[in-house]
Structure 1
Amino acid sequence: MKFFLSIWLMLWLCAASAGGHAQLPHDVPDCEPQIVSVMAAKSEGATRPVAGWQAVILPDNWSQRWPDYDGTVWYRIDWQPGCVDTDNGDSPVGLVIESIIMAGAVYSEDTLLWRDRHLQEPLSRSWNSPRYWLLPASHLREGRVLWVRVAGVAAQTPGLGRVRLGSPEAMLTVMEQGHWRTRTLPFINLVVSAVLGFLALFIWLAFRSQQVFGWYAVTAFCWVLFGVNTLATQAWPFSDTRMVAQANTLAYIFFIASFCVFSWRLLELRCAVWREFPLLALVAGLAGVIVLSPGWEGLQWAGHISSLVFLLNGLCITGWALRRREAGPLMVAGFYLLLIAIGVRDVLILIGLLSSDFYLSQYSCLLFMLMAAVFLGLRVAGDARRIERFNQELSVAIEKACDDLSATMSKEHRLALDNTRLQERLQLAHDLHDGLGGQLVRSIMMVEQSDDGLDKSRYLSMLKLLRDDLRQLVDSGASASASAAPPQTPVEWLAPLRYRFANLFDALEMLLVWNVPDAWRTQPTAVQCLLLARLVEEALTNIVKHSQARCARVTLQLPDDALLLLRVEDDGVGFDVAAVQGGGLGIGLESMRARTERHGGALTLCSQPGATVLEVRLPLGRS
């Protein structure tokens, strides 16, 4: 496993190094069985070698002695009871072998105690599996020699781990402790990583903008794929050990890349985006090297480069955090330093510079999950506090906006009242001009054109007409504001107008013709009927005052259910419409046009000597 030394630097390795080389306790009582010697020799396979034996010390890595040797090595272990005066022949003995790298078989003399399923490619994987056997007394009488056959590959630190003999109870305890460190704890780490990865994935699927959770999930899954190597006992689904190493190295490279991106996203670095592309390009290049490289050297360099990327990223983040001096970045930087420190410690144990039988790497995964959970929890808590402050500020802003809106609405209400009063005054001025003003003009003209003095009854009649017009003006304003019912027929609408203008036109010896239908096709509103009456009054008053006409005609037509057409014609002298409008002389005409347009209608006026036509087109159903 030489090329994995760089990988073991990472805290993420749940017992990859600790399981393969876990140091079992070696302080034994004097009366416990003790190993006398350990010999090793190369062999072609199942046959025990006769020559070539060399003394070795366990744990043994034969690649240091026989470089580039891929094959089988036999180990001969001679042992004896610890108490010379005690036979111990009737007492069973416990046997523990911490690891066999990669596959092997164990014999007590010629009796097979156990063997891996595959001793040829694809090799079984016993490198992280401590095993325990009970040697019965019958075996011990025949001899005290253990034979261990080991099949391995030079690039994966092949050899035999520590071998321990002792009382069954003590050896069973040793095996359980080793099993906890090398298999149970890595399994817990992988399960926790997978669960947290799925939780992060679900959060990211629900909130796609939170990309940090997506990268957290990718990191966790890559770690699980890499960590499975510590628990696998067979090469399946791969065809040989090298393909297993390829897949494992690929998982490691993608884990390093995703971890780096996750750390950038976690810290919200502004330069994270442009850093991700070179990192992904590097990952793609290393993946190509791993897949296309025919030997083991490419895998080793890929692992070394990935470890270097991790180390440099940690140093960069640490420097950045020290410049920022913020709690979150400093916590992540401290975690990186702890990662590196633990990795260096375990590597020093691996190469023998430190003496210990306990590796901390198996705890790194849970440590990382705890750090990430705490950091994300602090971020969520900070976001919650910001949201709370925002809600408070929003409440204050809404309250202020409501006050401002209330004040604005009060102001608008006052303006609306003032505008209503102004409109009422304008409406009253138009009504006075069109109604009472017209009647006054007619009365004045009757007085002026009378050759003989008018008698008292005629003056009284004109005053009564003026009174009736004033009363109708008041009544029509009140009825319009109260939405009174409109006339039921055009004849009913026409009656007041006919009464008001018939005597005047007769006195002036002018012919006035009325053409109206007997019934409405669509009932106009009271306001529309009042508008039509005012338009007719103003038009007929203008005819009397200015036209010198001999005949006038008022026509009301209903072309369809949605349109009403009013025409007022005379055969007078006519006038220049453009000149009157441009000179500002047609106040009554502009009043008529404004009234019509305010109700959605259109007024047109054409005039020439002998024919003046005023036409109003009013859509029905609109107030």
Structure 2
Amino acid sequence: MKLSIAYQWIVFVFLCCFSHSIWATTSPLSCSPTITYIAAAKAVANSTSKPTAGWEAVTLPDLWTNRWPKHDGDVWYRIDWTRDCPDAGAKQPIGVGIDSISLAGAIYSNDTLIWRDHSLEEPLSLSWNMPRWWLLPETTLSEKSNTLWVRTIGLAELAPGLGKLQIDHIDPIAKNHAHSLWHQRTVYYISLGLNGALGGIFLVIWIFGRSERAYGWYGLMSLCWMLYLSTLLSIDPWPFPDALTHSRFNNICFILYVFCFCLFTWRFGEQKLPYIEKLIWVFTGLSVLLSLFAPRAILNILWLSFVLLFLLNCLQFQFHAWRSSQPQYMWLAVCWLFFFIVGVHDLFVISLQEETHTMWGAITGPVAALFTALLLGGRLASSMRHIETFNYELQQRISAARLEITELLSREHNQALAHATLEERMHIIHDLHDSIGSSLVRSIALVEQASQPLSNTRMLSLLKVLRDDLRQVIEQGGKQQIVAATPTQWLAPLRHRFTDLLDEIGISSHWDIAPAWVSWPNAHQCLGLTRLIEESISNVIKHSQAKHLRILLKSDQQGLSLIVDDDGVGFDVTIKHDSGVGMRSMAARVERMGGKLQINSSSRGTTIIVFIEL
């Protein structure tokens, strides 16, 4: 049932079209004009009058340089036509349509001026790509034979001549004019707008993402093509002083377009052709310079060279896409193959000197621009999807890393607490060893060297000293200490505690203390040095068997220097440092204070040198 209905619709449409064609062929317009003769002749030098001799029969479209290769100036075209209209009432308006006049011109019906270009002198108007049509006033026409005169002004270097011409009734003229206007103007305007918009968009994308160089070259390529099309659409050489300079600019735009086209292709296809690229850069630069000054023959060679470069680039990318087998490259290769076919066709059109509006490039330009833009847009969308995927994966990895770091920090925190606890215990051990240990050494030395047992009062005094040392250790660990005003005040309690003991056990002591602070230590450093002096004196009492002891303290601009020197039996510094708690305690204290410890020992005595930079 559905097929029969569709069949009926097809038959209905066919009958409508067939009946329309029958009506069109069976209802011809009466009094149709007929062109009987077309000829051209060079104008007399410095004359705007019609030539009286030298007429040669031609066919339109015509390029007059085929007959007069070096002629610049005016050429007149004569078009004789007739209309046979037996019934005067059947006469219908007659019009004339011309696809192009290169470069500028004027139209005369018999001897009456119908139209002329704005400028017939340099800078010439540019009517070579502008289709026009006019109504021929009935007052300018005769009953049968009429002549249409077309004056053309052009330059031999810019393909001067006259395009296709039609003399007919208004309806066919208007229809053909609309068709020519579409091919010669409207399509170019559409392509110009598309390329300008797309070029600007992709240039902005490249500005914000410089790594995507393909977008930048596509933007430049589109803008160069837009400039090239603007020269084709221009009907005035402004801002250039003459038509020849305008033509040179047109050639430069085409050269730069092909150059950007090649670099865009290579960047999009990720092709690395360093030597060819350098050659193209140099060749393009030289071609632009030559386009400014070289004669037209050289310009034609340059133009043809870049056309061939354009076609070769389209071909080479086919092989590159086939080898890589990437979908984006394959789609661009299809577009470039389309460009290649269109380019070869248009090259033949130009070589055969046919009308430019028969070229395919004008019609296919907008389609190709949209196709390429969609391809680049797809690539941009693909890149954005990759970025989104990467961002998602990055967030997942960041979350995992954050969790791992949290666990690691927790472990490190616990380890730091354990380490701090252990370090504090070591500090307490060192303080107990250096303070209470020293007091114990003094007490033991007194007991050992006493000639008779000590009295209760003496023992009580020793125990009180131990108690005071323990209290000092506790207080120093629990509150902020204050540095004494002078080194003498600082060491006075320590000196008092040890001097009597040293005297009792037969060790003479000499204290050489700086009278004032030149560089002030902090409380931590004073406490550390106090413990170090206590440990040093305790070692002298316990092990040295010395008779003389010297404690020297210097304060200068560089820092504090402490020297503890005795004349005892000495010891092996290496073994003692490795096994003795006191030596390790002294080294640890000096390191915490940021100082340097040096111990020299021999059979003649021991010297401990400590320097703290302030």
**Fold shared per TM-score above 0.5:** yes
One-letter code aligned to 1:99: S
One-letter code aligned to 1:317: F
One-letter code aligned to 1:601: G
Moved more, 355-364 or 438-447: 355-364
Once residues 176 and 289 of structure 1 are traced to their aligned partners in structure 2, the CA distance between those partners, rounded to angstroms, is: 39
Once residues 450 and 433 of structure 1 are traced to their aligned partners in structure 2, the CA distance between those partners, rounded to angstroms, is: 24
Deviation for aligned residue 1:609: 9.6
In structure 2, the CA distance between the partners of 1:41 and 1:439, relative to structure 1 (3 Å rule), is closer
Determine the structure 2 residue equivalent to 1:573: 567
One-letter code aligned to 1:258: C
Deviation for aligned residue 1:337: 1.9
Q: Answer yes or no: is the 8 Å Cα contact 2:553–2:563 preserved in 1.
A: yes
DSSP-derived class of the 2:281 partner: helix
Moved more, 283-292 or 69-78: 283-292
Determine the structure 2 residue equivalent to 1:140: 141
Determine the structure 2 residue equivalent to 1:221: 223
DSSP-derived class of the 2:141 partner: helix
Q: Answer yes or no: is the 8 Å Cα contact 1:107–1:113 preserved in 2.
A: yes
Q: Answer yes or no: is the 8 Å Cα contact 1:71–1:153 preserved in 2.
A: yes
Correspondence for 2:234 among 232, 236, 240: 232
Once residues 150 and 48 of structure 1 are traced to their aligned partners in structure 2, the CA distance between those partners, rounded to angstroms, is: 11
Once residues 61 and 487 of structure 1 are traced to their aligned partners in structure 2, the CA distance between those partners, rounded to angstroms, is: 110
Moved more, 77-86 or 302-311: 77-86
One-letter code aligned to 1:398: I
Determine the structure 1 residue equivalent to 2:278: 277
Deviation for aligned residue 1:163: 2.6
Deviation for aligned residue 1:38: 2.9
Q: Answer yes or no: is the 8 Å Cα contact 2:130–2:184 preserved in 1.
A: yes
Once residues 352 and 437 of structure 2 are traced to their aligned partners in structure 1, the CA distance between those partners, rounded to angstroms, is: 121
DSSP-derived class of the 1:484 partner: coil
Residue 174 (structure 2) pairs with residue 178 (structure 1): no
In structure 2, the CA distance between the partners of 1:169 and 1:543, relative to structure 1 (3 Å rule), is same
Determine the structure 2 residue equivalent to 1:486: 482
Deviation for aligned residue 1:566: 4.3
Correspondence for 1:599 among 562, 583, 593: 593
DSSP-derived class of the 2:576 partner: coil
Deviation for aligned residue 1:488: 5.4
Determine the structure 2 residue equivalent to 1:433: 433
Determine the structure 2 residue equivalent to 1:20: none
Moved more, 229-238 or 35-44: 229-238
In structure 2, the CA distance between the partners of 1:509 and 1:72, relative to structure 1 (3 Å rule), is closer
DSSP-derived class of the 1:453 partner: coil
One-letter code aligned to 1:44: A
Determine the structure 2 residue equivalent to 1:125: 126
| Structure number with higher relative contact order (C-alpha < 8 Å, ≥ 6 residues apart) | 1
Please list, as runs of the form range in 1=range in 2, the aligned pairs for 1:522-561 lying within 5 A after superposition: 524-546=521-543, 552=549, 554=551, 558-559=555-556
One-letter code aligned to 1:226: Y
Correspondence for 2:576 among 584, 593, 597: 584
DSSP-derived class of the 1:305 partner: helix
In structure 2, the CA distance between the partners of 1:513 and 1:67, relative to structure 1 (3 Å rule), is closer
Please list, as runs of the form range in 1=range in 2, the aligned pairs for 1:17-416 lying within 5 A after superposition: 29-31=28-30, 33-45=32-44, 46-64=48-66, 72-81=74-83, 83-87=85-89, 92-119=93-120, 123-141=124-142, 144-153=146-155, 156-168=158-170, 171-172=173-174, 174-235=176-237, 243-269=245-271, 271-284=272-285, 286=287, 294=295, 296-344=296-344, 360-416=360-416
Aligned length: 583
DSSP-derived class of the 1:31 partner: coil
One-letter code aligned to 2:98: I
In structure 2, the CA distance between the partners of 1:252 and 1:513, relative to structure 1 (3 Å rule), is closer
Once residues 157 and 425 of structure 2 are traced to their aligned partners in structure 1, the CA distance between those partners, rounded to angstroms, is: 105
Once the two structures are superposed, what CA deviation does each residue of 1:470-500 show, in whole Å capped at 9, x if it has no partner?
4544x15xx42x4533365567755653564
One-letter code aligned to 2:430: H
In structure 2, the CA distance between the partners of 1:280 and 1:507, relative to structure 1 (3 Å rule), is closer
Determine the structure 2 residue equivalent to 1:8: none
Please list, as runs of the form range in 1=range in 2, the aligned pairs for 1:442-481 lying within 5 A after superposition: 442-470=442-470, 472-473=472-473, 475=474, 479-480=476-477
In structure 2, the CA distance between the partners of 1:93 and 1:466, relative to structure 1 (3 Å rule), is same
Once the two structures are superposed, what CA deviation does each residue of 1:212-258 show, in whole Å capped at 9, x if it has no partner?
23322432333234323322334556676555544433332332222
In structure 2, the CA distance between the partners of 1:529 and 1:375, relative to structure 1 (3 Å rule), is same
Once residues 181 and 422 of structure 1 are traced to their aligned partners in structure 2, the CA distance between those partners, rounded to angstroms, is: 92
Q: Answer yes or no: is the 8 Å Cα contact 1:531–1:595 preserved in 2.
A: yes
In structure 2, the CA distance between the partners of 1:38 and 1:101, relative to structure 1 (3 Å rule), is farther
| C-alpha RMSD of the superposition | 4.1
Deviation for aligned residue 1:182: 2.0
Q: Answer yes or no: is the 8 Å Cα contact 1:30–1:83 preserved in 2.
A: no
One-letter code aligned to 1:485: Q
Moved more, 346-355 or 494-503: 346-355
Deviation for aligned residue 1:40: 0.6
TM-score (norm 2): 0.80
Once residues 490 and 289 of structure 2 are traced to their aligned partners in structure 1, the CA distance between those partners, rounded to angstroms, is: 96
Deviation for aligned residue 1:432: 3.8
Structure 2 unaligned spans of 5+: 1-24
